[in-house]
């Protein structure tokens, strides 16, 4: 794994200037679609790869330590295999809703999506449910519908099982028991989910109240559901088994078999009904290729200087992990801070018995790192893989979505952050009330 190589080669410290490509890529993702949209949509792959090449060249030709690169490739291949297979399999399932959803129906749908995210992953749940979510709200679909879907289904909802979100899966591979997070973090998960749904209900109730009476009566009509492509649930099961039971290589091969099997056995009319396109997956693949490459020195710098941060309490780890999970991919960020926390206790993250013992001895630290890495992945479009894909699908469906900057300033900071801060105070501060 990427973090293992960083630990093993901690003496290879990247220069501070090597963090610049990562910062530039984040800036480009934030400003490109707004400042120069036509150029960005034609050249985003070139920009991402070009900045990634800077980091790759330094490790190959200057530091002459290719091990971090190979481990980054392993992480990226695993990441894209999971994202891609879930995208293809869930695109073969068509959920159709006739009629429109009331605020209460929408709130129930989001809660269901949060639960489903723990069974088929936030990526699978997002790809399965985003299209019916848009269809349910087609009369009054607004940016906040997409944003709250990303908050709850694409991120926060997947905080209970290793299947739910990549950070927890990596923790499971390192030695955290499968049900550990569910048994230790369920109350924090519930507070965050219900808090966000409560805020959403206020937004949606106001929108519903402003709709003309004729539209409100149409929206209140009973919904009729149609479900097609159910055989893809079997292919979904193949992906889950591969994730939980197979080693690297075989695991990705199993997911590729599931994706190919789904594609070959699904009627083309189902894909047409879902307005299927590979563009959302392509955008994630190119941008995260650049992100995975440029964040190698960023994570290495954190690993080398992590002890200087003076992190000791669950609250400190909660905010530190959260701050980086919003701008770095949250999976390696989880491992970086788990490694930092264990190093402070004289333990090593690559020892499964040590990880299990650390979780038993310091549950508060592991809980804080686990919840923060999952929850704060919703702070930006790049915090978690499904975020970009949901936005892309919504845009193709004609739903107005906020830009990178507007997503952060108008939704993540004023809405999501206070809810996550409340979770921190309730469960991880010295004045904690719960947990």
In this predicted structure, which of 89-103, 174-188, 273-287 has the lowest mean pLDDT?
Answer: 89-103
Which residues, other chains included, contact 193 with Cβ-Cβ below 8 Å and sequence gap of 6+?
Answer: 111, 114, 152, 156, 157
CA–CA separation, 370 vs 159, rounded Å?
Answer: 8
Q: Return the domain boundaries, the chain.
A: 2-428
Pairing, β 224-228 against β 94-98: antiparallel
Using pLDDT thresholds of 50, 70 and 90, give the confidence band for residue 5.
Answer: very low
Q: What pLDDT sits at residue 55?
A: 95
Q: What is the mean pLDDT of residues 93-115?
A: 85
Instruction: Note whether 208 and 216 are within 8 A (CB).
Output: yes
CA–CA separation, 6 vs 22, rounded Å?
Answer: 17
CA–CA separation, 250 vs 180, rounded Å?
Answer: 26
Can you tell me which residue has the tokens 């290495």?
300
% residues pLDDT > 70 (the chain):
91
Using pLDDT thresholds of 50, 70 and 90, give the confidence band for residue 4.
Answer: very low
Q: What pLDDT sits at residue 94?
A: 85
Give residue-wise pLDDT tens across range 34-87. Answer: 788 889 889 999 999 999 999 999 999 999 989 889 888 988 888 889 889 988
pTM: 0.80
Can you tell me which residue has the tokens 């929206």?
219
Reading the block at residue 2, the tokens are 């990427």
Phi, psi of 211 (to 5 degrees): -70, 145
Q: What is the mean pLDDT of residues 297-323?
A: 84
CA–CA separation, 187 vs 190, rounded Å?
Answer: 5
pLDDT over 60 (residue 2): no
Q: What pLDDT sits at residue 345?
A: 77
Q: What pLDDT sits at residue 220?
A: 54
Q: What pLDDT sits at residue 247?
A: 87
Q: What is the mean pLDDT of residues 19-44?
A: 86
Q: What is the mean pLDDT of residues 367-391?
A: 92
CA–CA separation, 35 vs 12, rounded Å?
Answer: 37
Q: What is 205-249 written as a DSSP string?
A: HHHHHHS-HHHHHHHTSPPEEEEE-TTHHHHHHHHHHHHHH--TT
Give residue-wise pLDDT tens across range 201-237. Answer: 999 999 887 766 666 555 555 556 678 898 999 999 9
Phi, psi of 178 (to 5 degrees): -55, -45
pLDDT over 60 (residue 3): no
Q: What pLDDT sits at residue 119?
A: 86
pLDDT over 60 (residue 8): no
Contacts of 307-314 with C-beta under 8 Å, sequence gap 24+, read 307/340, 307/343, 307/344, 309/340, 311/337, 311/340, 311/341, 311/344, 312/344, 313/428, 313/430, 314/364, 314/365, 314/367, 314/368, 314/427, 314/428
CA–CA separation, 378 vs 151, rounded Å?
Answer: 5
Average pLDDT over the chain, rounded to whole? 86
Q: What is the mean pLDDT of residues 88-110?
A: 84
């Amino acid at each position: 794994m990427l973090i293992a190589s960083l630990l093993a080669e901690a003496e290879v410290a990247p220069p501070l200037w090597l963090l610049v490509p990562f910062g530039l890529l984040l800036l480009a993702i934030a400003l490109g679609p707004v400042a120069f949209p036509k150029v960005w949509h034609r050249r985003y792959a070139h920009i991402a790869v070009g900045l990634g090449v800077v980091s790759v060249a330094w490790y190959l030709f200057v530091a002459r330590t290719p091990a971090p690169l190979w481990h980054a490739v392993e992480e990226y291949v695993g990441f894209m295999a999971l994202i891609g297979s879930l995208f293809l399999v869930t695109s073969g399932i068509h959920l159709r809703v006739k009629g429109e959803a009331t605020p209460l129906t929408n709130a129930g749908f989001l809660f269901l999506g949060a639960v489903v995210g723990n069974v088929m992953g936030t990526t699978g749940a997002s790809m399965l449910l985003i299209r019916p979510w848009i269809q349910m709200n087609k009369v009054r679909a607004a940016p906040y519908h997409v944003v709250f879907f990303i908050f709850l289904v694409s991120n926060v909802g997947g905080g209970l099982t290793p299947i739910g979100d990549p950070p927890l899966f990596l923790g499971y591979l390192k030695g955290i028991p499968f049900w550990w997070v569910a048994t230790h973090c369920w109350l924090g998960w519930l507070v965050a989910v219900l808090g966000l749904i409560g805020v959403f209900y206020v937004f949606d109730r106001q929108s519903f109240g402003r709709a003309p009476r004729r539209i409100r009566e149409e929206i209140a009509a009973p919904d009729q559901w149609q479900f097609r492509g159910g055989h893809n649930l079997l292919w979904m099961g193949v992906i889950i088994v591969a994730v939980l039971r197979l080693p690297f290589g075989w695991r990705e091969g199993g997911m590729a078999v599931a994706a190919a099997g789904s594609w070959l056995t699904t009627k083309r009319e189902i894909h047409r009904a879902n307005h299927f396109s590979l563009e959302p997956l392509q955008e994630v693949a190119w941008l995260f290729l650049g992100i995975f490459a440029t964040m190698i020195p960023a994570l290495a710098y954190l690993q080398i200087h992590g002890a200087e941060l003076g992190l000791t309490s669950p609250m400190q780890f909660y905010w530190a992990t959260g701050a980086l999970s919003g701008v770095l991919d949250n999976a390696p960020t989880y491992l970086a801070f788990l490694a930092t926390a264990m190093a402070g206790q004289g333990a090593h993250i690559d020892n499964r018995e040590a990880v299990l013992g650390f979780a038993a001895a310091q549950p508060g630290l592991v809980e804080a790192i686990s919840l923060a890495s999952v929850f704060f992945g919703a702070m930006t479009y790049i915090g978690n893989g499904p975020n970009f894909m949901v936005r892309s699908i919504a845009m193709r469906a004609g739903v107005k979505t906020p830009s990178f900057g507007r997503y952060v300033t108008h939704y993540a900071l004023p809405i999501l952050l206070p809810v996550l801060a409340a979770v921190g105070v309730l469960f991880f501060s010295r004045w904690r009330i719960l947990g």
